[in-house]
Structure 1
Amino acid sequence: MPGNHANIVPFESLACPLDGEALQCDEKTCRCPRGHSFDRARQGYVHLLPVQKKRSKDPGDSKAMVAARQRFLEAAYYRPIADAVAREVLKHAPEEKPLACLDAGCGEGYYLRHLMSEAEEGRCLSLLGLDISKWAVLAAARKDRRADWVVGSNANLPVLPGSVDRVLCLFGFPVYAEFARVLRPGGRLIQVDAGQGHLKELREVVYPEVRSEPRSVNPVPDGFRRVATQDLHFTVHLEGAEAIADLLAMTPHLYRASAEGREKAAALDTLSVTVDVCLQVFERYGPAS
């Protein structure tokens, strides 16, 4: 990417999803000491979600949902979120070794690409993007092959214990026991979740009634301490039916809304929506020595 001088090195802490042993990877294959082998697709990613651990034939976001999210995010509507995430990833980062960062539920890779573009000259990063959707990982790998990309599940991360400095879980499905397992002591989990008012104008279009519930503070996960919380509020102005359709398609509201609600959204040419998210940072602590 123009102007980006970060040094991106391979992610070398992949684990076999079948036995947890370290994977040794080359340009074509990843293998573990017990002989399990996983081919690298020609686009560069590796499929590490065993068939027996799939809950459906084609889990995760569909090809159409991934394409919609890619168009929406590349229009920079969520740039303030990406900026805040990149700042938290790089804050207090060790400089003497590569910063290992796992995006658990990476989608089409927008936030890792933004992190690469924001890292200062000379910063060394080791990046892994993981998603259960093969379509998302395929899109990410096609866009930028400097990071490593794998198809996998947050429930069984194909990553060695205590091997990463940062875990991202952005609008995703956190599995705290797995995040705690792969993070080094002192490593940080950066989590972004929708707030009460997130996309409320869109929800008011597609649902007959939108309930307002008090915001609850999530308990601190076992093995972590909360070190920072930041609420992000801003307004996004969408011009054109495609941008509105893309936003709807990348949210669960596409399937939860009635046909009438989706028709109302499709009839709009412009829409201003509130972005309301909570960014939390949790630090991993280890047992006393």
Structure 2
Amino acid sequence: MYIVPFQSLACPLDGAPLQRSGSAWRCPSGHSFDVAREGHTNLLPVQNKRSRDPGDSKEMVAARRRFLNAGGYQPIAAAVARTVLRHLPPAADAACLDAGCGEGYYLRQLAGAAAAAAGDHTLALLGLDISKWAVLSAAKQFAQAGWVVGSNANLPVRPGAFDCVLCMFGFPVHPEFARVLKPGGLLLQVDAGPDHLRELREIIYPALKPERPAADAPPPAGFVRLDGEAVRSPLQLAGQAQIADLLAMTPHLYRATAEGRARAAALDSLAVTVDVRLAGFERARSA
């Protein structure tokens, strides 16, 4: 399978198709968006920003890059890649979006697994994140995918463009995911399970909140629920730097008290549990 950048982008201002012309993407109305030297494009209009620098900071992105590239979450990436490749149409060109791609780790792992699969068809990849620092890091590390700064609330892509949408520990916007998925396409959401990083949470919080019982919620509108999967594995964190990187890439960094962060910073090693849930949903084939 050949990996190529996704090209079916849409103007974030009027939804019209974008065409690549030299170092910019342009729509028929004349809106133009420059392609950065690293190969990514900012498709997040200023009026759609809720802050000057939305999303993860430069420091958080760097911490996530160091931690993920060390391989601690590789079992998650492998499970995601298996699920996606199993669901893609056989012997046909396909496209996949990572909605909230961060610095691109999971899309790179998917690309590696897809490239090793048999066949002469293509898989077009697009990573999107609201953080310009995340998209910059992703573009620097892997030029074979398309990378854009954008929002899940207004995906700058054409309707029915994807066979798969990933939402990794992110903020799902199901109406938009339904709009950009083909009928029968896969939405794969990955979220923390009840024991995810429990050992770290026990250190940084005075007490853990009781786990809410799993609700048998209906699937999002326009989707059919598929079988899910749990990924659980031990992870040994070696050294203060790796512990700090893990904490910095999670919401716990801001939720923990100063005392809790200090207790984590004093650790030289820590064994934690990786516990995540893969929830699959198929885009309904008929209204």
| TM-score normalized by the length of structure 1 | 0.95
Rounded Cα–Cα distance in structure 2 between residues aligned with 1:27 and 1:136: 24
Deviates further, 208-217 or 253-262: 208-217
User: Can you give the 5+ residue segments of structure 2 that lack an aligned partner in the other structure?
Assistant: none
1:19 alignment counterpart:
14
Q: How far has the Cα of 1:61 moved from its partner? A: 0.2
**Matched residue, 1:274:** 273
- Output the CA distance in 2 between the equivalents of 1:238 and 1:225: 38
Between 1:7-16 and 1:158-167, the stretch displaced more is 7-16
Residue number among 3, 8, 24 corresponding to 1:8 in the alignment: 3
In the alignment, which residue of structure 1 is the partner of 2:229? 230
Aligned to 2:50: 55
What is the match of residue 108 of structure 2? 113
| d(CA) in 2 for partners of 1:95, 1:40 | 33
Give the equivalent residue in structure 2 for 1:210: 208
Equivalent residues of 1:220, 1:226 under 8 A apart? yes
Structure-2 residue corresponding to 1:131: 129
Asked whether the 8 Å contact 2:247–2:253 carries over to 1, the reply is: yes
Match of 2:155 in 1: 157
Q: CA RMSD in A?
A: 1.2
Unmatched tracts of structure 1, length 5 or more: 1-5
Q: Distance in 2 between matches of 1:48 and 1:208?
A: 42
Match of 1:75 among 70, 73, 97: 70
Q: Counterpart in 2 of 1:260?
A: 259
Contact 2:8 2:158 survives alignment (8 Å): yes
Q: Name the residue aligned to 1:250.
A: 249
TM-score under structure 2 length normalisation: 0.96
- Contact 2:92 2:121 survives alignment (8 Å): no
Q: Confirm or deny: 8 A CA contact 1:13 1:159 kept in the other structure.
A: yes
With over 3 angstroms needed to count, the CA separation of the structure-2 counterparts of 1:89 and 1:26, relative to structure 1, is farther
Paired residue for 1:3?
Answer: none
> Does the aligned pair in 2 maintain the 1:195–1:215 contact within 8 Å?
no
Deviation at 1:287, TM superposition (A): 2.7
CA distance in 1, matches of 2:248, 2:126: 25
The code of the aligned residue for 1:180 comes to: A
Report deviation, 1:175.
0.3
State how many pairs are aligned: 283
Determine what percentage of the aligned residue pairs are the same residue.
63
Q: CA-to-partner distance for each residue in 1:148-196, whole Å, 9 max, x for gaps?
A: 0000000000011111100000100000000000000000001101111
SS at match of 2:228: strand
The CA deviation at 1:12 is: 2.1
Q: Secondary structure of the residue that 1:103 maps to in structure 2?
A: strand
* Alpha-carbon distance between aligned partners in 1 of 2:47 and 2:19, rounded to the nearest angstrom: 23
Contact 2:5 2:125 in 1 (8 A): yes
Alignment deviations for residues 85-119 of structure 1 (CA, whole Å, 9 cap, x no partner): 00111113224432100000000000010011111
Which amino acid in 2 is paired with 1:225? V
1:240 aligned residue: 239
1:14/1:207 CA distance change after superposition, 3 Å:
same
Equivalent-residue separation in structure 2 for 1:176 and 1:70 (angstroms): 27
Amino acid in the other structure paired with 2:151: S
Give distance in 2, aligned partners of 1:16 and 1:55.
20
Amino acid at match of 2:126: L
Q: Is the 8 A contact 1:169 1:190 kept in 2?
A: yes
